[in-house]
């Protein structure tokens, strides 16, 4: 039986994939201590565990998934066990508490939780890029900002205060700001939280999870406008879209296509609205959780780090006519395969992703 469990809750886009790769590969040394991590094979994370707590179609699998991970806890004598799932970002902390009480009752008093939070402007950009990657958006950044602003997903303080209300001082929130992290690195910061020791030795893990350029985002818009699998059930279509996006993004990285284009940035004329919308939440989060003002500082320094003129999302503005025509032809071929043999196409895409370290959004 493990002695202590650490639940790493994300958030998304706070270095989760890199941390999970280190945990899965065992690229660490804990002097005099041992660690159990459920990740194996191509599975870097335990997002499937988070899904049973908020996705209606998967809630019936709660006992099985919590039970399987508990078997690993029970069969290990490690000092620490880590469960890492950035999709806990979407979980009601009360639902997690009830699941712990139901499925892991003997471990309830031996669980600590940690989450990292990305500053508002950076999270807005990364969330936009991620949704464009999967073909979930048609509008540009201003339209996305209006959407996010109204759904309150970047209003951090109420969400994290609820985690603290449910779990008390067992819950730790850390700002995903380099200067605020132990050794200015999120992996080192996590292991320092885990052990409370400075003696942990970490090895570098090669992982490609860099952000896309605006040209690559524009190409993905072409992909998603062309490939529209109408498979039944609809879940197959969603999986095709997600798997295809990941395969294509990996090819962008391997071939360098679009890599010389500019990084995505906030339009300068939008920044004022972003600051006005989130400065109260940044100040409240700082006051509630942090010794300094890292969130407010990051928001008000965004102009120097994240802004530029408005960027086009039209692929023709970044690629030659020949390159664009070749890409469109490839998309057309893939669309025919997806439409005629959706299940087989999905299997091929998932096989192509095996061995890749770019699983999920880290």
Quickly list DSSP for 307-322.
EES-----GGGTS-HH
Give a yes or no: residue 96 inside a domain. Answer: yes
Rounded distance between C-alpha atoms, residue 201 and residue 210, angstroms = 24
Q: Are residues 17 and 45 in the same domain?
A: yes
Contacts made by residues 280-285, CB under 8 angstroms, sequence distance 24+: 281/120, 281/154, 281/155, 281/156, 281/157, 282/119, 282/120, 284/157, 285/117, 285/156, 285/157, 285/160
Percentage of the chain lying above the pLDDT 90 cut:
75
Instruction: For the chain, give the mean pLDDT.
Output: 91
Average pLDDT, stretch 116-140? 91
Give a yes or no: residue 306 inside a domain. Answer: no
Beta carbons of 204 and 312 less than 8 angstroms apart = no
Give a yes or no: residue 227 inside a domain. Answer: yes
Give 35's Cβ-side CA count (13 Å radius). Answer: 19
Q: Are residues 196 and 219 in the same domain?
A: no
Domain count, the chain: 2
Question: DSSP letter at 361?
Answer: -
- Structural domain including 256 reads 214-263+320-353
Q: Are residues 239 and 185 in the same domain?
A: no
Nearest C-alpha neighbor of 59 from the set 72, 67, 50, 70: 50
Q: Are residues 195 and 231 in the same domain?
A: no
Predicted TM-score (pTM) of this structure: 0.90
Residue 236 has what pLDDT?
Answer: 65
The pairing of strands 28-29 and 4-8 is unpaired
Give a yes or no: residue 47 inside a domain. Answer: yes
Rounded distance between C-alpha atoms, residue 258 and residue 237, angstroms = 26
Q: How does pLDDT run across 158-199, given as a tens digit for each residue?
A: 999 999 999 999 999 999 999 999 999 999 999 999 999 988
Q: Are residues 343 and 229 in the same domain?
A: yes
234 pLDDT higher than 90: no
Q: Are residues 194 and 225 in the same domain?
A: no
Q: Are residues 193 and 59 in the same domain?
A: yes
Q: Are residues 219 and 187 in the same domain?
A: no
Give a yes or no: residue 74 inside a domain. Answer: yes
Give a yes or no: residue 28 inside a domain. Answer: yes
Give a yes or no: residue 362 inside a domain. Answer: no
208 pLDDT higher than 70: no
Residue 359 vs residue 15, higher pLDDT = 15
Q: Are residues 51 and 112 in the same domain?
A: yes
| CATH number of the CATH domain containing 94 | 3.40.50
356 pLDDT higher than 70: no
């Amino acid at each position: 039986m493990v002695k202590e469990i650490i639940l790493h809750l994300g958030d998304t886009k706070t270095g989760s994939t890199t941390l999970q790769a280190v945990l899965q590969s065992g690229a660490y040394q804990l002097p005099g201590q041992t660690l159990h991590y459920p990740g194996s094979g191509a599975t870097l994370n335990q997002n499937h565990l988070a899904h049973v707590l908020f996705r209606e179609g998967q809630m019936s699998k709660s006992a099985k998934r919590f039970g399987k991970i508990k078997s690993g806890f029970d069969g290990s004598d490690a000092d620490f066990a880590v469960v890492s799932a950035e999709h806990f970002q979407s979980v009601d902390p009360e639902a997690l508490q009830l699941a712990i009480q139901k499925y892991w009752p003997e471990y309830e008093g031996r669980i600590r939780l940690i989450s990292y939070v990305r500053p508002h402007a950076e999270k807005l950009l990364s969330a936009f890029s991620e949704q464009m990657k999967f073909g979930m958006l048609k509008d540009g950044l201003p339209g996305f900002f209006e959407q996010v602003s109204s759904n309150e997903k970047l209003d951090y303080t109420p969400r994290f205060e609820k985690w603290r209300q449910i779990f008390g001082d067992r819950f730790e929130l850390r700002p995903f700001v380099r200067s605020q992290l132990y050794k200015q690195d999120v992996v080192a910061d996590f292991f320092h939280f885990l052990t409370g020791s400075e003696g942990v030795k970490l090895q570098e893990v090669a992982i490609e999870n860099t952000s896309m350029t605006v040209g690559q985002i524009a190409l993905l818009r072409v992909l998603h406008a062309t490939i529209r699998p109408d498979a039944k059930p609809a879940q197959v279509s969603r999986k095709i879209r997600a798997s295809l996006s990941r395969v294509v993004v990996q090819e962008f990285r391997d071939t360098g296509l679009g890599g010389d284009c500019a990084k995505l940035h906030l339009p300068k004329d939008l920044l004022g609205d972003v600051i006005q919308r989130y400065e109260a939440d940044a100040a409240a989060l700082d006051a509630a959780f942090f010794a300094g003002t890292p969130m407010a500082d990051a928001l008000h320094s965004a102009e120097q780090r994240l802004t530029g003129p408005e960027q086009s999302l039209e692929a023709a503005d970044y690629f030659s006519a020949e390159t664009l025509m070749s890409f469109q032809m490839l998309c057309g071929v893939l669309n025919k395969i997806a439409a005629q043999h959706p299940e087989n196409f999905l299997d091929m895409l998932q096989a192509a992703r095996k061995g890749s370290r770019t699983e999920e959004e880290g």
